[in-house]
Amino acid sequence: MELTIGFSLLAFLSIFMLFFGLDRALNSQSNVIESRLDRYASRPAGTAAMIEAVGSQPRMVTGLNRMIAARGSNKLATDLARADVKLTPSEFILINVAAVLIGFLIALVLTRSNLILALVGGVVGFYMPRFYIRRLQARRLDAFNNQLGDTLILLSNSLRTGYSLLQSMETVSKELPPPISQEFARVVREIGLGLTIEEALAHLLERINSEDLDMAITAINIQHEVGGNLAEILDTIAHTIRERVRIKGQIRALTASQRMSGNVVALLPIAVGVFLTAFNPGYISGMWTDMCGIAMLIFGAITITSGYFAIRKITDIEV
């Protein structure tokens, strides 16, 4: 009976997500011009995806957008922009809710209707989309930083040939691969829509939270105010960034085994517990039916988490 209810809820959730996706696809073509102008000119990157034109999205999504905007919080929108995820905050919240329900139902089925482990599955479902966004942010930031040195060299050489800064950034958007070409193409579009170079570069820094990029943008802004040889300044910054990228690569190579050990130590007890719960639930059922077992689980979770973060902190060497 309980399994039937679980599968019914899962089927209902699947049908709901299907119709939601169809509604989103059918309504995504309206008000294209307004949404593009909103995205590239009228608001910073953090809030550009927050409020869409009425009618361009389903009513539920539009209502959530207005609620988020009324609270004045743009952190989620900024996180989505930094991960280059083409979702509004309200759409991500709906996906997060669906992930919680799916995690709860899957854990409920696998653990044979154990409510405590089903709640744990719901918690895992809550954090999985956010963990995925963090992974996309880190991967995109690493790719951007690895390309930044070559980008500054290209900007410097373009300035020496007589190009303006805007023409040099347009060259970067055409010659280099993503993600740096996408970001500089967006800077060029924002300037073409009426923003100043300082404003467009500030939006770029909001989307890419990089210390190296911050240093380069600061140098460009100072050069615009007091003058100077921007090509030579960019060459110096590019050399510094390349050396930093090289040293970071060496550090990651030297600490790879320690980081892998931390991941294995943290995930192995969880994997063993899930395996035993799924294939021999009677053997491990005492861990969550007896108070001593529950206390052991809580203590184990605390020590595993603290050990994982301690290893990550030791191997995270700042350059």
**What's residue 28's pLDDT?**
46
**What's residue 153's pLDDT?**
92
**What's residue 17's pLDDT?**
56
Condensed to tens digits (0 to 9), the pLDDT of residues 176-187 reads 998 999 999 999
Lookup: tokens for 72:
């004045």
Q: What is d(CA 134, CA 209) in angstroms, rounded to the nearest whole number?
A: 13
**What's residue 81's pLDDT?**
84
φ, ψ at 229 (rounded to 5°): -90, 95
Condensed to tens digits (0 to 9), the pLDDT of residues 278-315 reads 788 777 777 777 778 778 888 888 898 898 888 888 88
For each of the chain's 319 residues, which pLDDT tens digit applies? 455 555 555 555 555 555 455 455 444 444 444 454 455 544 444 444 444 433 445 555 565 566 655 554 577 888 888 888 888 888 888 898 899 999 888 888 877 777 777 888 888 889 999 999 999 999 999 899 889 988 999 999 999 988 988 999 999 999 899 899 999 999 999 999 989 999 999 999 988 888 889 989 998 998 888 878 888 989 999 998 888 888 888 888 888 888 898 889 888 888 888 888 778 877 777 777 777 877 888 888 889 889 888 888 888 887 6
Q: What is d(CA 162, CA 120) in angstroms, rounded to the nearest whole number?
A: 61
**What's residue 103's pLDDT?**
87
Q: What is d(CA 236, CA 216) in angstroms, rounded to the nearest whole number?
A: 10
**What's residue 20's pLDDT?**
52
Question: What is the pTM for the complete model shown?
Answer: 0.68
**What's residue 170's pLDDT?**
92
Q: What is d(CA 235, CA 245) in angstroms, rounded to the nearest whole number?
A: 15
**39 DSSP assignment:** I
**What's residue 152's pLDDT?**
92
Could you tell me which of 206, 207, 218, 212 has the C-alpha nearest to residue 246?
212
| Beta carbons of 197 and 219 less than 8 angstroms apart | no
